[in-house]
Amino acid sequence: MNAQQKIIDRLREYLLVPGEPDARLKPKWLARRLDVPERQLLGALAHCVRDGLVEMHWEVYCPVCGRSPGEFGTLKEAHSKVECTACESCFDLHLDRDVRVTFSATESIRRLRGSGGVPQALEGDSEAQTRGLDLLLIPSFWELFSGEAPADDESLHIGRVTILFTDLRGSTAMYQERGDPRAYHMVREHFAILGRCIDRNHGSLVKTIGDAVMASFASGAEAVRAAHDAQAELHAQAQSMGAELVLKAGVHSGACLAVRLNDRLDFFGGAVNTAARVQGLSLGNDVVVTDTVLADIEAERIENKPRVRVIESFNAQLRGINAPVRVHRLIEVEAETAPQHYLRRLACQTEAIS
Ligand SMILES: [Zn+2]
């Protein structure tokens, strides 16, 4: 049985125990109660929503007065403009600032457990909230609910999310050299490696575009670590894959919108454009990041800090973006001897490109 199924079973068991809170459950509280990591629990909860065990509440809180003017059951029902009747203010809904997610047992589960089917709300706990954005960083959520994207005419704000873009260096030549079927197989393998590295570093793969991948994270440090992990794994698997695929990567943290695009959930706007352009500055086996990402890395506790070295910083004029953007090229520092080796490799690459 896989780990996710085990958590789903534990959750079902828990929901059937009479007397336990079963309504308005905060994921962080439930994770502690069931002794499972929150991220795995959120993944399991997405499956439980689909299977009718629990329902999701996207509770909206007013940024002015702190009271809740309402909630929605799915992203499809969300409105970008919210009016708070309590303080008569009107605000743009932000999925990271104004939305907190809770879960309740469905009526059918409540009936199964007896006790008159009365919901027992979780009360008086001080556990931190799970933001609406946090659900969007869970792969199962994308897998199961990306079709429940916001309505066509709605776009939901996200104050800050980290976007990673990757692309393969020299993939056109690879297609020519190896022929389409073999190259396609290698590209698929690289998607699988990237998917694992993104998930392991708490991100979510949003989409693939040709050989490129777009993923979202809560922090810049996690995105950079995911990119470096994938580069290291592609390097390590070069022999078994028959060639070394070299990954280019760019990361930016900023504001964007959650929208419906091609009938599925997608991110759109500033942070996405900048991350895509920054990726264009990568030479391969490096990660190019903006100031906000570098600040994220510096803010990490020492044990979580990605082991990176900034090898150059410069102002870049990015297409479609008016002001120059300060960017930094990072390489992973595996060991004390690594930088020279990387720098030499990078120098060769730079010469080959220019
Ligand atoms: Zn208010």
Per-residue pLDDT of the chain (354 residues; tens, 9 = 90+): 688 899 999 999 999 988 889 999 999 999 999 999 999 999 999 999 999 999 999 999 999 999 999 999 999 999 999 999 999 999 999 999 999 999 999 998 988 887 666 788 887 777 789 999 999 999 999 889 888 889 988 999 999 999 999 999 988 888 888 888 888 889 999 999 999 999 999 999 999 999 999 999 999 999 999 999 999 999 999 888 888 899 999 999 999 999 998 888 999 998 999 999 999 999 999 999 999 999 999 988 777 777 899 999 999 999 988 899 999 999 988 644 455 555 555 555 554 443
Q: Enumerate residues 6+ apart whose C-beta is below 8 A from 66.
A: none
- Residue 90 Cα, ligand 1 centroid: separation in angstroms? 8
Distance 80 CA to ligand 1 centre (A): 15
Question: Contact, 157 vs 148, CB < 8 A?
Answer: no
Say if CB 141 and CB 46 are below 8 A apart. yes
Ligand 1 center from residue 192 Cα (angstroms)? 45
CA of 27 to the centre of ligand 1 (A): 25
How many angstroms separate the alpha carbon of residue 82 from the centre of ligand 1?
10
Question: Which single residue is written with the structure tokens 């050299």?
Answer: 177
Cα of 56 vs centre of ligand 1, distance in Å, is: 23
Beta pairing class for 247-261 and 287-290? parallel
* Ligand 1 centroid from CA 331, angstroms: 46
Cβ-based neighbours of 1, under 8 Å, separated by 6 or more: 9
Question: Which residues belong to CATH 3.30.70.1230 in the chain?
Answer: 155-353
The SS3 call for residue 208 is strand
- CB of 202 closer than 8 Å to CB of 241: no
* CA 93 / ligand 1 centre spacing (Å): 12
The CATH architecture annotation of domain 155-353 reads 2-Layer Sandwich (3.30)
In the chain, where do the E strands start and end?
54-60, 70-72, 81-84, 89-92, 99-105, 156-168, 204-209, 212-217, 247-261, 264-268, 287-290, 308-316, 325-332
- At a CB cut-off of 8 Å and minimum separation 6, what does 184 contact? none
Cα 84 to ligand 1 centre (Å): 5
pTM (two decimals): 0.90
